[in-house]
Amino acid sequence: MKFMNLGSRENASRYVAVEMFKEIHFNECTLLGLATGGTMEEMYQELVELLKRHQTDISCLETFNLDEYFNLDISHPNSYMSYMKKHFFDPIGMQNSQFHLPDNDLFDVEEDNLRYDAAIRDKGPLHIQLLGIGVNGHIGFNEPGTPFDSKTRVVELSPETIEANARFFDKQDDVPVQAVSMGIETILYSNRILLLALGDKKADIMAKLYHMTEPDIAVPASSLLTHPNVEIIMDEAAAQYI
Ligand code: GLP
């Protein structure tokens, strides 16, 4: 696992955007795993600009997102579908058939989850899996204690995660308490993983992860120690205790 402190938020976001851009631009049909969260906003803005500036053909790009809130209307402004449409899918003109998020409605959710994993298995491995990280070390919505062989499924959000995500909602009670998340095994089924961590709030978890030598299910991101090609990209604020 390679830890990189790129100084400013801008540099760290740009590094990830450029790596994603190269994968899309120089590959005919790129398969990406995508993440949401405040951390990714500048990165997507930069990536959209690069793809437009270079008139990249994205007609064969296909993406799978990590997670979605459970039983929240996908047209809700805080759904991850809305986030992705706003920050990435709509600005580059992706067709509905090109992007996938875990199905989050109440009906047939288990079958839908199996189908989601099967589609990634069939088409994968993903060329790049993009990740953020939660303050408790979660990746996707795989909270502490998640087995490393987990697949896509409905998960309960931890109190820390609900609190951290409350900033996007009017009040904490509005934050969904469940989500559908790609499992850790599914996340690891990728050629390359880029994890972006920005800001003071991520400093403690980054220091903890940096010092881990063995994977431990108490810190879901430590599952990345079992993957051969992982870069952890940080700004100075997130790397300050390393
Ligand atoms: C959310 C998402 C994660 C994301 C993380 C950090 O709960 N499920 O995929 O990486 O929390 O979010 P942020 O970038 O807003 O700090």
Supply the ipTM of this predicted assembly: 0.96
Q: If pLDDT is split at 50, 70 and 90, which confidence band does 8 have? A: very high
pLDDT in tens, 92-120: 999 999 999 999 888 888 999 999 999 99
Residue 64 falls within a domain, yes or no? yes
Dihedral angle at the C-alpha atoms of 169, 35, 43, 79, nearest 10 degrees?
-30
* Percentage of residues in the chain having pLDDT higher than 90: 89
pLDDT in tens, 119-132: 999 999 999 999 99
Averaged pLDDT of the chain: 96
Q: If pLDDT is split at 50, 70 and 90, which confidence band does 59 have? A: very high
For the Cβ of 183 lying below 6 angstroms from any atom of ligand 1, the answer is no
pLDDT in tens, 16-31: 999 999 999 999 899 9
What is the DSSP pairing of strand 31-34 with strand 128-131? Answer: parallel
For the Cβ of 133 lying below 6 angstroms from any atom of ligand 1, the answer is yes
pLDDT score at 172 = 86
Judge whether residue 164 has pLDDT over 90.
no
CA of 37 to the centre of ligand 1 (A): 4
CA of 133 to the centre of ligand 1 (A): 6
* Percentage of residues in the chain having pLDDT higher than 70: 100
Residues 6+ apart with CB under 8 A from 242: 3, 5, 206, 207, 210, 234
Residue 236 falls within a domain, yes or no? no
Domain membership of residue 158 as a residue range: 2-204
For the Cβ of 146 lying below 6 angstroms from any atom of ligand 1, the answer is no
For the Cβ of 193 lying below 6 angstroms from any atom of ligand 1, the answer is no
Residue 241 falls within a domain, yes or no? no
Q: What is the mean pLDDT of residues 132-145?
A: 96
- State the first-to-last Cα distance of the chain, in angstroms, to the nearest integer: 14
pLDDT in tens, 211-240: 999 999 999 999 999 999 999 999 999 999
CATH value at residue 134: 3.40.50.1360
Residue 29 falls within a domain, yes or no? yes
Judge whether residue 34 has pLDDT over 90.
yes
Q: If pLDDT is split at 50, 70 and 90, which confidence band does 134 have? A: very high
**Catalytic residue (choose from 138, 142, 165, 235):** 138
pLDDT score at 189 = 97
pLDDT score at 232 = 98
Contact call for residues 189 and 121 (beta carbons, < 8 A):
yes
pLDDT score at 157 = 93
Residue 132 falls within a domain, yes or no? yes
Residue 240 falls within a domain, yes or no? no
Q: What is the mean pLDDT of residues 60-66?
A: 98
Q: Which of 193, 188, 165, 192 is nearest to 80 (CA)?
A: 165
Count of structural domains, the chain: 1
Residue 65 falls within a domain, yes or no? yes
H/E stretch holding 11: helix 9-26
pLDDT score at 79 = 95
Residue 145 falls within a domain, yes or no? yes
Contact call for residues 160 and 136 (beta carbons, < 8 A):
yes
**Catalytic residue (choose from 65, 113, 136, 165):** 136
pLDDT score at 106 = 80
* Closest ligand 1 atom number to CA of residue 201: 16
Cα torsion 164, 165, 166, 172: sign: negative
CA of 61 to the centre of ligand 1 (A): 23
